[in-house]
Structure 1
């Protein structure tokens, strides 16, 4: 039996719901399904035709965002582990700054299991980067690589959920915080970012 492809209007409605949810939740993280449906110009019944409930909608937002985050991890190819970590942090910040509230929802304990599964490729990249940095002497070695990778994740989580993305220097803070956890001193971070000003500049422009 041949499975029929979704109708074009159904796909457009689903995309419209997701776009409306991103915008609505950015303004109000506790927005109801009714508010999101109205924002999308659809009825509550139509929304429920695509998503079983509000949590299902949020999980879809997390999954789509995770795909973009995972792609960012694959795009970082610097041989220098310090530079790779700084660039990864900046690019992730640039993406998260556009959907900060949605990103915070993804990091919320209520969705932690789904988020961990969706971001598995990114987490593997961070773990591999932690090991590489320890092996070449760039990162601290007083902690096992998996523990260091977890601390880097937790620092990123805190910065994303607690920092005003539009504030001056927010991107710089995000990158420096991650480098600090990896074991770089503030002077070493200064030297690294001074030698590669494009890293923080790109992230700052995106969050402005």
Structure 2
């Protein structure tokens, strides 16, 4: 038995709902399902034909956003774990800053378990970077690698949710904070970023 492909209007409606949800929640993170439906130009009944409830819609937003983060993680190929962590932090910050409302929703305690599952490839990248950094002597070794990787994740979560995305030097702060947790001193972070100015510069001014 063959599975029929979704009708074109159904696919377009679903995409429209997701776009409307992003725009609406950016203005009001507590926007109701009715407000989102109106923003999409659809009835509440049509929206419920695609998503069971508001949480299901938010989980879909998280999943699509996670795909972008996972792609970014796969794009970082620096052999030096310090450079790789800095570049990963800058690129993720740049992406999160454009959709900080969605990042905040994704990192909210109500959705953090779903977010963790959706971001499994990214989390594996962080775990691998942590292991390589410890093996090379570049990262702190007083904390087991799995624990250190978790600390990096948790600090990244706090930075994304608490830092003003529009503030000057936000990306630089995010990068330096994660390097510090990994075990680099502020002088070592200075030297690293001075040697690779494109890491933060390109993310502060993407144009």
TM class by smaller structure: over 0.9
Output one character per residue of 1:25-77: Cα deviation in whole Å (capped at 9) or x when no partner: 11111010011111111111111111000000000001111111111111100
Aligned residues: 207
Q: What corresponds to 2:114 in structure 1? A: 114
Alignment of 1:1-208 (within 5 A): 1-206=1-206
Output one character per residue of 1:119-142: Cα deviation in whole Å (capped at 9) or x when no partner: 111111101100100000110011
Q: Which residues of structure 2 form unaligned runs of 5+? A: none
Q: Which runs of 4+ in 1 moved over 6 A?
A: none
SS of 1:42's partner is coil
More deviation, 39-48/133-142: 39-48
d(CA) in 2 for partners of 1:145, 1:205: 33
d(CA) in 2 for partners of 1:147, 1:87: 21
d(CA) in 2 for partners of 1:18, 1:98: 16
SS of 2:49's partner is helix
How far the C-alpha of 1:2 sits from its partner, in A, is: 1.8
How far the C-alpha of 1:11 sits from its partner, in A, is: 0.6
d(CA) in 2 for partners of 1:23, 1:173: 27
d(CA) in 1 for partners of 2:19, 2:198: 30
Output one character per residue of 1:81-101: Cα deviation in whole Å (capped at 9) or x when no partner: 000000000111111111101
d(CA) in 2 for partners of 1:173, 1:32: 34
Output one character per residue of 1:139-175: Cα deviation in whole Å (capped at 9) or x when no partner: 0011000011001001100000001111111111111
d(CA) in 2 for partners of 1:160, 1:44: 32
Output one character per residue of 1:169-192: Cα deviation in whole Å (capped at 9) or x when no partner: 111111110001001111111111
